[in-house]
Amino acid sequence: MHCQGNLLKMKTRLEHVTAYTLLLGAVDVALNPLVGREISLTYLNQINCIHCGRVTRNSFGQGYCYPCFISVPQTEECVLHPEKCRAHEGIARDMDYAREHCLKDHFVYLAVTSDLKVGVTRESQIPTRWLDQGASRAVVLARTPNRYLAGCVEVALKAHLADKTNWRRMLTREPAPEINLAAEKGRAAELLPAELQAYVTPDDGVLEIRYPVLDYPAKLKSVNFDRAGSLAGRLAGVKGQYLLFDDGQVFNIRRHNGYLVALDT
């Protein structure tokens, strides 16, 4: 098979083993059947902004041209820093967008990605967010009526918990099996100030997530199309938004949003 198009974040579906679809412009490629097979990705030396489509020499904020990066609501500061969201005070780049994305119920969650981490996401993004991060387990900690309050819960826990993922460690067999997420939820809840404890959810149900990975290479080497023009090998698996090859090459799809790429299988 040969196809080409602009890369976008892979589509995921929670199943017994997470199902991945590679999005190449208008072409959808089911990835799970390709695990264990030889594939190649070739960069065609063009980046198109994932918002407006224009050609851009560099990608900003994972896929945007510079004018879009500094103006569209998808790249506003509160995307990375929920505690800086001001939508609840009526301040946002685009209030219509904010009503749909910031002024909706949010979840604060604990997940095991590389280690225990805390994160924030909109209600409708669960479990998508967890699959995108390569979490092997996750539990909801709190539910808040907007993004800002979820950010406040996260900030209160940042002194005790990581909010970033170490991708090298995430791409190992099962990171940190000793972590008991339900117990960590109880501990985290006690660390919150009383006014935020009110948002902690009663359900301690832990979601376990499996990924289509045949084997985890011992040594990983990240491939970046700003430096390398192509990538070929046997696909060992897919986890988070990463393609994993059996010689240890790792390709972060999200980092290459908007890159024009050909896929051959």
Q: What are the residues binding Zn ion (CB under 5 A)?
A: 49, 51-52, 65, 68
- Least gap, CB of 87 to Zn ion (angstroms): 23
Between 52 and 182, name the residue whose CB sits nearer to Zn ion: 52
- Least gap, CB of 48 to Zn ion (angstroms): 8
Nearest to 82 by CA among 139, 150, 29, 36: 150
| 92/83 Cα distance (integer angstroms) | 13
| 44/61 Cα distance (integer angstroms) | 20
E runs forming strands in the chain: 2-13, 19-24, 27-30, 38-47, 106-112, 116-122, 137-144, 207-208, 221-223, 230-239, 242-245, 249-252, 259-264
| 249/233 Cα distance (integer angstroms) | 8
78 in helix, strand or coil?
Answer: helix
Between 18 and 59, name the residue whose CB sits nearer to Zn ion: 59
Do residues 23 and 7 lie in contact, with contact meaning Cβ atoms separated by under 8 Å?
yes
Q: Which residues of 77-89 are buried (b: 16+ CB within 10 A; e: fewer)?
A: ebeeebbebebee
Between 49 and 235, name the residue whose CB sits nearer to Zn ion: 49
- Least gap, CB of 41 to Zn ion (angstroms): 23
- Least gap, CB of 54 to Zn ion (angstroms): 5
Between 62 and 172, name the residue whose CB sits nearer to Zn ion: 62
Amino acid at 53: G
Between 49 and 171, name the residue whose CB sits nearer to Zn ion: 49
109 in helix, strand or coil?
Answer: strand
- Least gap, CB of 260 to Zn ion (angstroms): 15
**Helix %, strand %, coil % of the chain (to 5):** 25, 35, 40
Between 32 and 75, name the residue whose CB sits nearer to Zn ion: 75
- Least gap, CB of 93 to Zn ion (angstroms): 14
Between 97 and 216, name the residue whose CB sits nearer to Zn ion: 97
- Least gap, CB of 47 to Zn ion (angstroms): 10
